[in-house]
């Protein structure tokens, strides 16, 4: 469709809006071509390259731009541009005027009611009605661009969510690492250092951990900074500015309220105000405090201390994200710090307990040694004179012969009898003392065998008496054989002794299991005892009967108790006057075979 310049076409401009004459085509085809222009679904127009005025517009242009054909023909192409795009248009016109076919690309056009829409423009130079014109095809891109914008927005949203997810993921990974690292050590100091190390450089340029001591002071226990010099400054500053409860400082507020403090902008005046002297100020500035985030270490509603995070040389600022992360880290750290502190205290307590036990053991060993020396002395020094008295009383009796009258002989007899009695008491006491001292030699002991053997050994005492022995099932235990034999010698001996007034004595020995421990009972139908004295039964030299009535030193049951206690068991007794007695002892579960 090349516009000729020969005027052989019909000037349709008179019909307003109808395309003017096109070159070359025959009259028949011309109508058809005009249809292509008039009814093209995309807006089309021809404008005057010199005046930029519209020379013809099609139906689609009228429809899309909202101007009537008449209005279009009174306008220039500049009138359908937003004013800010005019410069670009002018520039484009200047450049493209030399090229016949042009694809100037995407433009913003203005409708009559001021709406902007995007169009893709293609144009072609044509002679039109004797003028140098340009045929323009405008493809509306609004839908496409909107779709692109929506897509781009969707992509933007997706990117945002992905970033958020990654952030959360990074945070969780960080906290998980933190928890793992923290839980690796129960060492208090190590724990604090771990916290500080984890914070740098992830959420701070340097980090200090301060712990409230039991006396209310604050101890800076860990500082981490990439520069060791700065670590020194941080410690030094803490020393120069000791913590004072109630003093105006960020740290004080955090510790008091248990709430985070975040200062993202620290003006130099603030440093000047805080500094005590030039040196202070120099250090403050050296540390380059850009932004400070102080989070409390809270464990079980107690403030243990605080973590101070500082952005300095990196010039970064703390975000809400950082705050949440720091608080989360602090919570985990606080619990671990609390545990570590408990662990440390427990260890210290244990150590002091062990020390006490050691001290006490030494004391006991010393006391035991003294007791041993005492018994040794008793054994030698008390017995020898007794033997001498007895010996010389005998010699005296022999020496005086018949010169001594009956009374004299009786006196000598009483001396000998008393000395013998005292000898028995000393022997019993020594035995009792030894029972507490001698080493236990545990072996497997069949209590039934022991009982039977003891009964056999008592034939002298039981001879001529009617005694019914009832022995039920008795356990086999881990115990000191000799000691348990002594126990039964005492218990069975007592039973035999205190049933002496009975024509027919009945002595039962039985054993049963009670809550895992073995309980052994020796029961008789003898003279019994009054329960209100049952506590005295097991004491040394405690006797409920006179020695005229029943012989004995009163050490037997004391020995029984001592032996059973040494085996980890208990002793007790039941009885009633004239209705018999039952003496019990238990052996713990650990002694069972």
Partner 1 sequence: MKSILLAGDNQIDVELTQEALGRNNLANDVVVVGEDGEAPDYFRQSGNYAGRKGGNPAVVLLDLKTPKVGCLKVREEIKGDDSLRTIPAVVLTSSNEETDLLKSYQLGVNAFVVKPVDFHDFMEAVSRPGAFWAIVNEAPPAGVRSG
* Contact set with partner 1 (CB under 8 A): 375-376, 379-380, 383-384, 386-388, 390-395, 416, 419-420, 422-423, 430, 438
Cβ-Cβ contacts under 8 Å for 393 (sequence gap 6 or more): 412, 415, 416, 419
Kindly tell me which of 84 and 381 has the beta carbon lying closer to partner 1.
381
φ, ψ dihedrals at 179, nearest 5°: -60, -45
φ, ψ dihedrals at 527, nearest 5°: -75, -15
Kindly tell me which of 373 and 593 has the beta carbon lying closer to partner 1.
373
Kindly tell me which of 55 and 393 has the beta carbon lying closer to partner 1.
393
Residue 87 to residues 81, 92, 117: CA-CA distances in angstroms? 10, 8, 18
- CB 438 → partner 1: shortest distance, Å? 7
Kindly tell me which of 385 and 539 has the beta carbon lying closer to partner 1.
385
Return the H-helix or E-strand segment holding 219. Answer: strand 218-225
Kindly tell me which of 145 and 419 has the beta carbon lying closer to partner 1.
419
**Helix residue spans in 401-537 (DSSP H):** 406-437, 447-457, 459-462, 481-498
- CB 369 → partner 1: shortest distance, Å? 12
Taking Cα atoms as reference points, which of 515, 519, 442 lies closest to residue 484? 442
- Cα four-point dihedral sign 357, 361, 362, 367: positive
| 55/73 Cα distance (integer angstroms) | 6
- CB 559 → partner 1: shortest distance, Å? 16
Is the backbone peptide bond immediately before 489 cis, with ω within 30 degrees of 0?
Answer: no
- CB 368 → partner 1: shortest distance, Å? 13
Looking up tokens 């609004």 gives: 142
The helix/strand/coil state of 294 is strand
Q: What token pair was written down for 514?
A: 């009670």
Count of C-beta atoms within a 10 Å radius of residue 136 = 23
Kindly tell me which of 160 and 420 has the beta carbon lying closer to partner 1.
420
Kindly tell me which of 147 and 438 has the beta carbon lying closer to partner 1.
438
Helix (H), strand (E), coil (C) string for 545-572? CCCCCCCCCCCHHHHHHHHHHHCCCCEE
Q: Give yes or no for a contact between 501 and 515, defined as CB atoms under 8 angstroms apart.
A: no
Return the H-helix or E-strand segment holding 19. Answer: none
Q: Which residues on neighbouring strands pair with residue 102, listed in sequence order?
A: 123
Kindly tell me which of 35 and 395 has the beta carbon lying closer to partner 1.
395
Q: What token pair was written down for 146?
A: 């909107």
- CB 557 → partner 1: shortest distance, Å? 23
Cβ-in-10-Å burial (0-12, 13-18, 19+) of 526 comes to buried
- CB 480 → partner 1: shortest distance, Å? 14
Q: Give yes or no for a contact between 288 and 314, defined as CB atoms under 8 angstroms apart.
A: no
Kindly tell me which of 238 and 433 has the beta carbon lying closer to partner 1.
433
Kindly tell me which of 96 and 416 has the beta carbon lying closer to partner 1.
416
Q: What share of the chain is helix, strand, coil (3-state, %, to 5)?
A: 50, 20, 25
Q: Give yes or no for a contact between 151 and 159, defined as CB atoms under 8 angstroms apart.
A: no
- CB 374 → partner 1: shortest distance, Å? 12
| 552/548 Cα distance (integer angstroms) | 9
- CB 392 → partner 1: shortest distance, Å? 8
Q: Give yes or no for a contact between 442 and 478, defined as CB atoms under 8 angstroms apart.
A: yes
- CB 425 → partner 1: shortest distance, Å? 11
Q: What token pair was written down for 403?
A: 């010169």
Kindly tell me which of 120 and 383 has the beta carbon lying closer to partner 1.
383
- CB 376 → partner 1: shortest distance, Å? 6
Task: Encode burial over 48-83: b for 16+ CB neighbours within 10 A, e otherwise.
Answer: bbeebbbbbbbbbbbebbebebeebbebebebbbee
**Is beta strand 116-128 parallel, antiparallel or unpaired with respect to 131-140?**
antiparallel
Q: Which residues on neighbouring strands pair with residue 53, listed in sequence order?
A: 76
Kindly tell me which of 286 and 415 has the beta carbon lying closer to partner 1.
415
Kindly tell me which of 486 and 581 has the beta carbon lying closer to partner 1.
486
- CB 394 → partner 1: shortest distance, Å? 4
- CB 429 → partner 1: shortest distance, Å? 13
- CB 381 → partner 1: shortest distance, Å? 8
Kindly tell me which of 50 and 370 has the beta carbon lying closer to partner 1.
370
Q: What token pair was written down for 106?
A: 């995407």
- CB 365 → partner 1: shortest distance, Å? 16
């Amino acid at each position: 469709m090349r516009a000729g310049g020969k005027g052989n076409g019909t000037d349709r401009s008179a019909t307003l809006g109808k395309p003017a004459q096109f070159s070359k085509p025959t009259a028949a085809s011309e109508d058809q071509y005009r249809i292509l222009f008039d009814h093209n679904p995309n807006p089309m127009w021809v404008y005057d390259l010199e005046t930029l005025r519209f020379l013809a517009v099609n139906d689609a242009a009228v429809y899309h731009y909202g101007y009537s054909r008449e209005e279009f023909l009174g306008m220039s192409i500049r009138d359908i541009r937003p004013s800010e795009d005019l410069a670009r248009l002018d520039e484009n016109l200047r450049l493209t005027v030399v090229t016949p076919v042009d694809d100037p690309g995407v433009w913003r056009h203005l409708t009559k009611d001021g709406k902007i829409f995007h169009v893709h423009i293609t144009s072609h130079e044509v002679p039109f009605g004797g003028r140098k014109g340009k045929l323009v095809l405008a493809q509306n891109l609004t839908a496409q661009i909107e779709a692109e914008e929506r897509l781009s927005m969707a992509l933007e949203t997706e990117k945002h969510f992905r970033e958020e997810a990654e952030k959360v993921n990074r945070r969780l990974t960080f906290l998980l690492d933190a928890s793992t690292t923290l839980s690796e050590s129960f060492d208090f100091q190590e724990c604090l250092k771990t916290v500080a190390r984890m914070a740098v450089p992830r959420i701070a340029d340097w980090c200090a951990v301060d712990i409230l001591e039991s006396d209310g002071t604050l101890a800076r226990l860990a500082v981490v900074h990439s520069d060791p010099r700065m670590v020194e400054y941080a410690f030094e500053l803490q020393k120069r500015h000791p913590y004072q409860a109630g003093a105006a400082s960020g740290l004080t507020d955090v510790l008091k309220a248990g709430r985070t403090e975040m200062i993202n902008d620290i003006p130099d005046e603030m440093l000047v105000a805080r500094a005590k002297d030039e040196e202070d100020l120099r250090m403050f500035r050296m540390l380059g405090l850009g932004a400070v985030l102080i989070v409390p270490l809270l464990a079980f509603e107690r403030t243990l201390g605080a973590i101070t995070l500082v952005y300095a040389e990196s010039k970064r600022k703390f975000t809400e994200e950082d705050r949440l992360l720091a608080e989360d880290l602090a919570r985990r750290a606080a619990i671990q710090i609390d545990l570590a502190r408990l662990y440390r205290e427990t260890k210290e307590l244990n150590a002091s307990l062990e020390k006490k036990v050691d001290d006490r053991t030494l004391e006991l060993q010393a006391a035991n040694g003294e007791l041993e020396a005492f018994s040794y002395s008793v054994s030698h020094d008390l017995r020898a004179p007794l033997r001498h008295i007895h010996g010389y009383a005998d010699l005296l009796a022999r020496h005086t012969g018949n010169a001594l009258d009956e009374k004299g002989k009786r006196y000598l007899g009483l001396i000998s009898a008393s000395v013998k009695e005292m000898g028995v008491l000393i022997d019993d006491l020594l035995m009792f003392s030894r029972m507490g001292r001698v080493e236990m030699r545990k072996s497997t002991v069949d209590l039934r065998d022991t009982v039977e053997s003891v009964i056999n050994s008592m034939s002298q005492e039981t001879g001529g008496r009617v005694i019914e022995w009832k022995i039920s099932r008795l356990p086999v235990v881990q115990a000191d054989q000799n000691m348990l034999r002594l126990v039964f010698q005492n218990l069975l001996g007592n039973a035999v002794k205190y049933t002496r007034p009975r024509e027919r004595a009945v002595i039962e020995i039985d054993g049963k299991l009670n809550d895992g421990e073995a309980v052994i009972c020796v029961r008789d139908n003898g003279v019994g005892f009054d329960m209100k004295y049952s506590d005295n039964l097991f004491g040394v030299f405690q006797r409920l009967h006179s020695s005229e009535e029943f012989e004995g030193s009163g050490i037997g049951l004391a020995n029984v108790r001592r032996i059973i206690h040494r085996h980890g068991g208990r002793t007790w007794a039941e009885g009633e006057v004239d209705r018999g007695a039952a003496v019990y002892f238990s052996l713990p579960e650990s002694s069972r075979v």
